Amino acid sequence: MGRENTISKIMDAICDSGRHYRDSIPMIASENILSPLVREACNSDLHGRYAEGLPGKRYYQGCEDFDTIESIGIETAKRVFNCNFANIQSTSGTNSNLGALKALTKPGQTIMAVSTADGGHISHAQMGAVGMRGLNLTTYPWDEDRMEPDIDQSINLIRETKPNLALFGQSVFLFPTPLQELSDAAHEVNAKVMYDGAHVLGLIAGNQFQDPLNEGADVMTGSSHKTFPGPQGGFLLSNSEDIKFQKKLNNGIFPGVCSSYHLHHVAGKTVALSEFEEFGEQYAIDIISNAKALAESLAEEGFDVIAEDRGYTASHQVLTRHGQIDSGAGRDAAALLEKSGIITNMNMLPGDTKAMSPSGLRLGTPEITRLGMSNDDMKDIAKFYSRALIRKDDPKLIKNDIKEFKSNFQTVKYCFQSDLAYPGL
């Protein structure tokens, strides 16, 4: 009976989570929702299989069918990302970063990256993949007004520091990186250039953000489950035609940081890549359009939206400040919003130093866009934010209104098969 109760609790919690997201407005910038066909691929017999190596060069028998899947995925990724090399095996964006760092650096060498305080990802820090690789870290000077590395100061620091690797890209990512200028400086000192596109990979593939591999990046990593709407996993991409360099990148993933690499997720990525070829550009356009509309609507409601002078955002993200630096106002706002039916996350903003008590929120539009919301719906969402955080309406009343609002958005769009109901259950 005890075991039955445990299983019952687990299954109930899974269903409860699905209902929670189904009836709420999901706005975490690093999340997305799967299409029915991608879910089918992920929920297949492949989930428990192994295929170490590359197509045609396996350590296990029984991989012929998976070779077909991965080969299609690699070629499709090359087309989607307009590149010469693609590894689709990694199990996350951080896993991709670890594999790239193994291929591009040696312990004790120097790396430059955006600091976590300025929006860099934790894998770019000593607490994450950079530290695990044993690298010495120097961070770029930051332009708070433009929310990007200070170009002139960063170029001077690159020339002075002479890093082995210059890493660009962030977790808080409002605008394209001035990559060409910075890459030129890095290459002057014989540094490799790596671009972490985890958050913006779908926007890049949809030709709506920037083109890192043609702006100086030797390698681009990314997640397959944020603005790129696939299953949990990652990509490792390059324009290099050097076979030895490509081999180093492949070896960085396997045997570097992966053994089994979740074959069901690779199959799901391959389906997602095929769907993105058909629908991705319009999806990327709509994600950014909704983010801009959301930012403008929130500002009209009286919220302090970051980067007003630059038009708030050119990506899927919107940042809002809710109190004094390090006040925890962002944490409190996120908790109140969840009670009201909006799911998002607290986030450090320029000036904040305490990750668990920041002043801001990071809002994202990938999932709500994929469920069919448009610019006019962003105005309604901004009003819900205002009711919760400015007017201080009863969260239960707001939550009921949001449930009714969300009932109109229960079908996944931008995919081949969209006749199935919301897949949270």
> Judging by beta carbons within 10 Å of its beta carbon (0-12, 13-18, 19+), is residue 45 exposed, middle or buried?
exposed
The residue written with tokens 């070779």 in the block is: 67
Residue at 371 is within a domain: no
Query: Of 217, 177, 178, which Cα lies nearest the Cα of 194?
Result: 217
**For 338-373, what is each residue's pLDDT tens digit?**
999 999 999 999 899 999 999 999 999 999 999 999
User: Among 49, 42, 39, 30, which residue's Cα sits nearest to residue 261?
Assistant: 49
- Residue 310 domain flag: no
| Span 410-420, average pLDDT | 82
Q: What percent of the chain has pLDDT over 90?
A: 95
Residue 356 lies in a domain: no
Largest distance between two CA atoms of the chain: 68
Helices (H), 189-242: 201-205
CA distance 409 to 422: 8
Residue 133's pLDDT is what?
94
The residues, any chain, with a CB within 8 Å of residue 53's CB and separated by 6 or more, are 59, 254
Q: What is the pLDDT of residues 244-263, one digit of tens each?
A: 999 999 999 999 999 888 99
Q: What is the mean pLDDT of residues 364-391?
A: 98
Specify the CATH number for the domain of residue 193: 3.40.640.10
Is 48 contained in some domain?
yes
- The answer for residues whose C-beta is within 8 angstroms of residue 3's C-beta and 6 or more apart is none
Q: pLDDT band at residue 422, thresholds of 50, 70 and 90?
A: low
Residue 309 has pLDDT above 80, yes or no: yes
3-class secondary-structure state, position 307? coil
- Please list the alpha-helical segments (H only) found in 115-168: 129-132, 151-161
Where on the phi/psi map is residue 302: left (φ > 0), alpha (ψ -120 to 50), or beta? left
Task: Answer yes or no: are the C-beta atoms of 319 and 347 closer than 8 Å.
Answer: yes
* Closest of 290, 377, 382, 395 to residue 332, by C-alpha: 395
Specify the pTM.
Answer: 0.95
In a domain, 11, yes or no: no
Asked whether residue 239 is assigned to any structural domain, the reply reads yes
Please give the pLDDT value at position 391: 97
| Least reliable range by pLDDT among 2-6, 26-30, 86-90, 106-110 | 2-6
Burial profile 251-284: b = 16 or more Cβ within 10 angstroms, e = fewer: ebbbebbbeebbbbbbbbbbbbbbbbeebbbebb
Angle CA 165–168–172, to nearest 5 = 150
CA atoms within 13 A on the CB side of 83: 30
* Structure token digits, residue 147: 């929310």
Helix (H, G, I), strand (E, B) or coil at 139: strand
- β-strands 317-321, 342-343 pairing: unpaired
Tell me: pLDDT of 419 over 70. no
**What's the CA gap between 176 and 183, in Å, rounded?**
14
Give me the domain span that covers residue 56. Answer: 38-275
For residue 4, the model assigns a pLDDT of: 77
As a whole number, the mean pLDDT across the chain is 95
pLDDT confidence of residue 3: 75
**Does 137 map to a domain?**
yes
CA-to-CA distance for 110 and 165, rounded, in angstroms?
Answer: 7
Supply the DSSP symbol for 24.
S
| Angle of CA points 158, 86, 57, to nearest 5° | 125
How far apart (Å, rounded) are the C-alpha atoms in residues 329 and 333? Answer: 6
The three-point CA angle 219-221-226 to 5° equals 150
255 assigned to some structural domain: yes
Paired sense of beta strands 317-321 and 148-149, if any: unpaired
Query: Which is nearest to 342 in space by CA: 367, 324, 325?
Result: 367
Categorize the per-residue pLDDT at 417 as very low, low, confident or very high, splitting at 50, 70 and 90: confident
Whether the per-residue pLDDT at 423 is higher than 70: the answer is no
pLDDT digits (tens, 9 = 90+) for 169-216: 999 999 999 999 999 999 999 999 999 999 999 999 999 999 999 999
pLDDT tens digits, one per residue of 110-146: 999 999 989 999 999 999 999 999 999 999 999 999 9
Average pLDDT of the segment spanning 267-285: 98
Which two structure tokens, joined as six digits, stand for 95? 């896993």
- Compute the 3-state secondary structure of the chain and give helix, strand, coil in percent, each to the nearest 5: 45, 15, 40
| Sequence-separated (6 or more) residues with CB below 8 Å from residue 220 | 81, 83, 194, 195, 196, 197, 204, 212, 213, 235, 236, 237, 238
Report the distance separating Cα 139 and Cα 119, nearest Å: 11
Task: Provide the number of structural domains found in the chain.
Answer: 1
CA distance 11 to 16: 9
